[in-house]
Chains A and B, each alone.
Chain A
């Protein structure tokens, strides 16, 4: 009989915090600078340099901890994790082992309508490493320390997940929570959110966990799902062959859709953690905690419920709108400019999402302003432009954030409400299309649609459709 296996998954998620400066020095965290232009003696590990903690890192870590139901360690410290690697100039990473800033949290996820809590073991603060670029001309590695010292939090879950769907729901929950906090943009493809998957399998009903492996280099939700499926199969094959799973770190290659072991067994994994003597303890007072608690924003679930209740949006719409912070922001800002919530939702749900899909972009990267969307809605409300023109203008707003008032004026896109001009055009259309006129008169209601279309074409789309219909019927 075939054995049934259960997959047990825990995640280590690194998130780059959106601070202006690095965790221990006043260097910029800005992305994309020329190599080593955002470095100083501290973040390149020069002897004699001393780290000073960025208070905003602590604020953001506490905010994420509170949002994920953690207990905040009110007396916490930094430790040194010792290892040699060229991207780590100090030969140790400043991290937290003994007193991580947050512990014992949980977040609720939903998969196929079923709700489940995923435990968070701890969240700790640490610094990012530099970046190694392989130089094919000299067959050497080039080190850029611009990312060295960028603040990270590492969120360590309990081994509570059982499927790729649960993993993705958990990651999405973390991402939305952290984005709403403004603590990070959490982009997997750009590395501001990184997930390492710890996976083991065991026979269904077994109490003990199996030997786990850790999978790295997962840069998209799709890669994570594929890697989990692949690793589950690999481990089952090993067990079925009567062999043992080796505890190791594996690197996922998404192009080849397979993983390989990263470090050899001879490589000692002994980090010899000890308290960092350069950094004094952090004592977080009750007042400090309360201050951050009071500033927590409205999170996705609350927002979603409010959109349904306050604006009467369907659950599906509320889900999409709150599923990207950027969309929720534009939605609320546009409403604040007196636009009708249902109309704003409609523009975001239909046209915006259509273009986002067409361009294969992330809704987070939308750049148009609420001001111009509100203006566009006013133009349609007052029937100054018809819906066809409005869609055209919206594409311009989406791409270049143009001012629709000016654009419509300059391009002469206003709907022609001048009855005389319309009547002349329609008379011409009737004269040019005797067959359709005949059909209509013989009871083919649909024929009028063709005539409306011809009229709109002749008017370059600017006619008021209601008026066109009315005049056509009258003349026929």
Chain B
């Protein structure tokens, strides 16, 4: 598949990445390689084959509806770059 400049710009926007021109060129090459590699699968006839989402035959893994976690705020917030009043502080965000 041909990865165009437009695709790279679009993927950059989706991933919130600002890429330099050199990085864009590199990303173009990498993405083309990856898609060509996976593209090999297109050589197979997959008519009538159900799309697969997992490689193992496990299903119905459930949890009972019982509270097991308590208040661990201090630990949780330990990773926050910034915090205030028990909350994660982030740049002002509009709804």
Contacts and interface: CB of A to CB of B under 8 A. Distances in A.
Contacts, number: 131
Contacts of B86: 34-37, 144
Nearest to A84: B16
B67 interface: yes
A134 interface: yes
A262 B93 CA distance: 13
A282 B63 contact: no
Contact of A20 (B66, B91, B95): B66
A26 interface: yes
A355 interface: no
Contacts of A52: 61-63
Nearest to A87: B93
Interface string B47-85: 000000110101111111111110111001101000011
Contacts of A37: 71, 73, 86
A453 interface: no
Given A36-B77, A44-B76, A53-B63, A140 B71 contact: no
Interface string A251-277: 100000000001000001010100101
Contact of B54 (A55, A144, A280): A280
A282 B92 contact: no
A230 interface: no
A38 B35 CA distance: 42
A19 interface: yes
A132 interface: yes
A140 B85 CA distance: 12
B10 A268 contact: yes
A85 interface: yes
The DSSP consensus for interface residues of chain A is loop
B65 A56 contact: yes
Interface string B15-50: 010000000000000000000000000000000000
B62 A55 contact: yes
A141 B62 contact: no
A184 to B, nearest CB: 14
Contacts of B1: none
Given A19-B65, A37-B73, A268-B10, A280 B90 contact: no
A39 interface: yes
Interface in A49-92: 52-56, 58, 77, 82, 84-86
B63 A268 contact: no
B93 A132 contact: yes
A337 interface: no
Interface string A267-303: 0101010010101111100000000000000000000
B76 A40 contact: yes
B84 A53 contact: no
B43 to A, nearest CB: 22
Contact of A53 (B13, B61, B68, B69): B61
Given A54-B65, A277-B53, A142 B85 contact: yes
Nearest to A30: B67
A410 interface: no
Interface in A9-49: 19-21, 25-28, 33-41, 44, 46
A439 to B, nearest CB: 71
A356 to B, nearest CB: 32
Contact of A39 (B13, B63, B72, B93): B72
Interface of B: 10, 13-14, 16, 53-54, 56, 58-69, 71-73, 76-77, 79, 84-93, 95
Given A138-B89, A141-B90, A141-B93, 12 more contacts: A20-B67, A21-B63, A26-B66, A35-B86, A35-B87, A36-B73, A36-B86, A37-B71, A135-B85, A141-B89, A268-B14, A282-B59
Minimum-distance CB pairs A-B, first 3: A275-B53, A26-B68, A142-B87
19 contacts: A21-B68, A26-B66, A26-B67, A28-B67, A28-B69, A34-B73, A34-B86, A135-B84, A140-B90, A140-B92, A141-B92, A141-B93, A142-B88, A268-B10, A270-B14, A280-B60, A280-B61, A281-B53, A283-B59
